[in-house]
Amino acid sequence: TEAVRKHDEL
Amino acid sequence: MNIFRFAGDMTHLISILVLLLKIYATKSCSGISLKTQELYALVFLTRYLDLFTDFISVYNTIMKLVFIASSLAVVCCMRMHRVVRRSYDKDLDTFRHYFLILASFVLALLVNEKFTFQEIFWAFSIYLEALAILPQLVLLQRSGNVDNLTGQYVFFLGAYRAFYILNWIYRYFTEQHFSRWIACVSGLVQTVLYADFFYYYFISWKNNAKMQLPA
């Protein structure tokens, strides 16, 4: 499943 | 984290420090668009909804708090501070920024990574940030002359996203499945909007003259 990627950028 | 992104974040931080310096040192916000500051506060509040749910790193959390706190502080100071608010160019800062908010929100509903509350607001904040500088650039165009600190503020604010573009290129080549095309396209538009400002900023720096924007 396409886990919603965390936004690791500001 | 890579050097481009770190340089971008530091440049962004410097732009905020220059803005705070200008307002607190000169006790004046002339040349600063309150509408751009309000848009930036909205950008950070809608982008960092995951502040308490997703822990990325101490650095990430601290920077998010600094960006949110500083943008709200500037807006409050420009609205409330009895000395500072008198220097606000109210009659020059007339850009209808509500249209920018509406356009960004509609676009975020149509184009987002996932149709969830958090992702829609994240895309909204990305689109809004690309347009947030417009009231500020229009205000500078109308006021003609740009004081040094304001010019440096806008310059660093534009430069930070240019570093992020290098960061996305770097990550594209070094990480599998790296795709941030929403942020990339929006970041490109954002940086291009500064193009003419960068040009006049460079001219004024080369001639060591005061920065003039053509009326």
Number of domains in chain B: 1
pLDDT for A1 equals 38
What is the four-CA torsion angle of B31, B35, B37, B39, rounded to 10 degrees? Answer: -150
Residue B146: strand, helix, or coil: strand
On whether residue B174 sits in a domain, the answer given is yes
Q: What are residue B146's DSSP bridge partners?
A: B211
Count A/B contacts: CB-CB distance under 8 Å. 25
On whether residue B213 sits in a domain, the answer given is no
pLDDT for A5 equals 66
CB nearest to A8's CB, from B60, B113, B116: B60
pLDDT digits (tens, 9 = 90+) for B51-61: 999 999 999 99
Domain of residue B95: give its range: 3-205
On whether residue B210 sits in a domain, the answer given is no
On whether residue B183 sits in a domain, the answer given is yes
Residue of A nearest to B167 (CA): A9
pLDDT digits (tens, 9 = 90+) for B22-50: 999 999 999 999 999 999 999 999 999 99
Residue of A nearest to B63 (CA): A10
User: In what helix (H) or strand (E) does residue B130 lie, and over which residues does it extend?
Assistant: helix B117-132
What's the gap in Å between the CA of A3 and the closest CA on chain B? 10
pLDDT digits (tens, 9 = 90+) for B131-176: 999 999 999 999 988 999 999 999 999 999 999 999 999 999 999 8
Q: A1 touching B, CB under 8 A?
A: no
Q: Describe the crossing of helices B34-47 and B134-143 by its angle, rounded to 10 degrees.
A: 170
Residue B145: strand, helix, or coil: strand
On whether residue B215 sits in a domain, the answer given is no
Residues B56, A6: C-beta atoms closer than 8 Å: yes
pLDDT at A2 over 50: no
Give the integer Cα–Cα distance in Å for B37 and B74.
7
